[in-house]
A and B are shown apart, each in its own frame.
Chain A
Amino acid sequence: MLNTASLSLQQAPPISIPFRFFLTAPLFSILAAVQLLLAGEEILVSRWLPVTLGFTHLLTLGFLAMVMCGALLQMLPVMAGAPVPGVVVVGGAVHLLLSLGTLFLVAWFLGSGPLPPALILLVAGFSIFLIATVVAIWRRGVVARGSPAGGMQLALVSLLVTVLLGVVASLGYDGRLVIRELAVVTDIHLGWGLAGWVGLLLSSVAFQLVPMFNVTPEYPQWMKRHLPWLILLALVGWSLLQFGEGAFWEGGRKFSLVPVVVLYLLFAFITLDLQRRRKRKVPDITLLFWVTGLVSLICCAVLWVCSQLLPWLASWRGMGALWGIGLLLGFSLSIVNGMLYKIVPFLSWFHLQNRQMAQMRMSVAIPHMKAFISDRAARVQFVLHLLATVAMAAAVLYSHNLVRPAAFLFLASNLLLGANLWIAVWRFRKTSLLLAQKS
Chain B
Amino acid sequence: MSTIAGTMTADHRHCDEYFSETEAAISAGEWIKGEHLFKLFREATLNHFAMEEERLFPAFEGHVGHTMGPTQIMRMEHNQMRQLVDEMAVSLKAQDKAGYLGRSETLMMIMQQHNMKEEQMLYPMMDQALGQAGASIASELVPV
Contact = CB atoms under 8 A, between A and B. Distances in A.
A411 to B, nearest CB: 29
A310 interface: no
Contact of B79 (A4, A7, A342, A357): A357
A361 interface: no
A139 interface: no
Interface stretch (B39-47, B103-111, B134-142): B103-111
B70 A369 contact: no
B17 interface: yes
Interface in A262-308: 279-283
Interface of B: 16-17, 19-20, 23-24, 27, 64, 69-70, 73-74, 76, 79-80, 83, 87, 98-99, 101-103, 105-106, 108-110, 112-113, 116-117, 121-122, 125
Given A7-B70, A281-B24, 12 more contacts: A3-B121, A215-B20, A279-B20, A280-B19, A281-B20, A281-B23, A282-B24, A357-B76, A369-B102, A369-B105, A369-B109, A370-B105
Interface residues on chain A, size class: 20 to 34
Given A3-B121, A6-B121, A368 B102 contact: yes
Nearest to A372: B102
Contacts of A7: 69-70, 73-74, 117, 121-122
B116 A2 contact: no
Contacts of B109: 212-213, 342, 346, 369
Interface in A174-230: 208, 211-213, 215
A371 interface: yes
Contacts of A283: 27
Contacts of A22: none
Interface of A: 2-4, 6-9, 78, 208, 211-213, 215, 279-283, 342, 345-346, 349-350, 353, 357, 368-371, 375
A405 to B, nearest CB: 33
Given A7-B121, A7-B122, A357-B76, A212 B112 contact: yes
